[in-house]
Structure formats: structure tokens, C-alpha cells
Amino acid sequence: MAENKKVSKKSRKREKVERKERRFAPSQGQSSLYSGVGGMAGALALGAGVYGQWVRNPALPWAQYLVAGGAVTLGIALWFSDTSADPIRVGPVGVAIEKGSELTRIAWCDLKRVSIENKALRLEGDDLVLSVPLSTHPLAAAWILKEAVERVPDAMDVKGSQSDGLPEPKDGDGELVLVENLQIAGRHCAESDTAISFERDARLCPTCAQVYHRDHTPKKCVTCGDELAGRAYAL
Ligand SMILES: [Zn+2]
């Protein structure tokens, strides 16, 4: 965070700034079975069925649950993922989960609710729910909470005591990697609803990563209310 603030102050002019995020590998241990169970309980608590489960690696079982059937309770398609064995990235644009070479991202601006349920941090968007098990991803969870409080405070639904036991986020945590695979093309400008066909036309809010067309970037972010003039950045 500290370095983000420094960057935005210095780069009044639109310099090409390399965006970096923190990558956290899962901690090894007996806890992965636990989080599988926790993930299942979470899916059941949702009132939706468990439709699929694959065990990729017998030594470190992880499960992925597809919640289908129109996600009874919420009326949206949910992709409920247990991430106990997948690396997680946290940074200026949001949270991403690495599945092999694929990144599944949820942007800060798309987060509707951040909560802790069944020993997992639950990140809820409109059409995506990510679950970060506290047992295998304590540092990633701590960083997500720290960033979310600053970037999307309205989405926070975590009681103080629920995050007890998580480590204190420190500057040297994780491995700094370049932000990649943002998949901006196809999104719509949050101000004008203009479709963004090319990444180069996109301008991002440095706080919540909301996306605007460069010709329609407002003075203040419509999602988080932060100043965009001189701060919105190009990819
Ligand atoms: Zn914003």
C-alpha cells in the first residue's frame, strides 16, 4: 500500500508504471483436508448443491465445487472455488486465484461482500465467489483484509474477532509479480457504459480498479468516490 501511494503522488503525468501484486503460495500441511471440508460446508450453507469434485493430487487433496442450478438463494451463477492448494494474488486490481496457468480474478470494485465463514475468507461478487481458506492462506487472507478495508470498506462484513489469529501483513510478504491477464476488453465503462474494445482505451481507478473508457473518465470514481483526475492509470 505504501508504495502505491508513493507511485500515484509522483506520477502526476501518465507514466507507464509497472503494476505489481503479491503472490502467495499455499502453506503446506494437514490443513488442506480441513479446508476442503470447510469449503463443502460453505457450499451447503449457501443452500446449493455440490455438483462436482475433482481430486487433482492425492497427496494434497483439494476440491472444487461447482454450484449450479441457478444458485437457488441468489439467483445468479456462482462459481464456488476452494483454493486451498492454489496460489493467490493480491494487489492494486483485486484478488486472483491461480489455477495452473489460468488466473481467476475478482476486482475490488466488483466485490459486494467480504466475510469470514467456515474458516475461510469469502469474496462475493455479482457472478463469482472466491473462498480463501484461512488455514492454508493466512497471509493472503490478511493482505486481502488489509487492502479491502482501505479500498472497498462498504463491502466489509467481518467482525474484528473473526480475523484474530491472522498474521500481521508486512511489506516483505509474498512474491511481487507483474499484474497480468486483466481481461479488460469486453468490460463497459462504469461512467458511460461504452464498451471497452481495446485495453489501451481503459483507465483504471487506483483505489478500486473500476474501469473507465479514456474519453469518459469522470473526476471521481463512481464506485469508491475517490479522485480520478491525474490518478486513473492506463494499462
Ligand atoms: Zn474507485
Question: How many Cβ atoms sit within 10 Å of the Cβ of residue 208?
Answer: 26
Rounded mean pLDDT, 105-113? 95
Distance from the alpha carbon of residue 63 to the mean position of ligand 1, in angstroms? 34
Distance from the alpha carbon of residue 204 to the mean position of ligand 1, in angstroms? 8
Q: pTM for the complete prediction?
A: 0.71
Spatial separation of the C-alpha atoms in residues 191 and 50, rounded to whole Å:
38
pLDDT at 53 over 80: no
Distance from the alpha carbon of residue 224 to the mean position of ligand 1, in angstroms? 4
Distance from the alpha carbon of residue 81 to the mean position of ligand 1, in angstroms? 26
Asked if 98 and 105 count as a contact pair (C-beta separation under 8 A), the reply is no
3-class DSSP state of 108: helix
Q: What percent of the chain stands above pLDDT 70?
A: 69
Distance from the alpha carbon of residue 226 to the mean position of ligand 1, in angstroms? 6
Distance from the alpha carbon of residue 212 to the mean position of ligand 1, in angstroms? 10
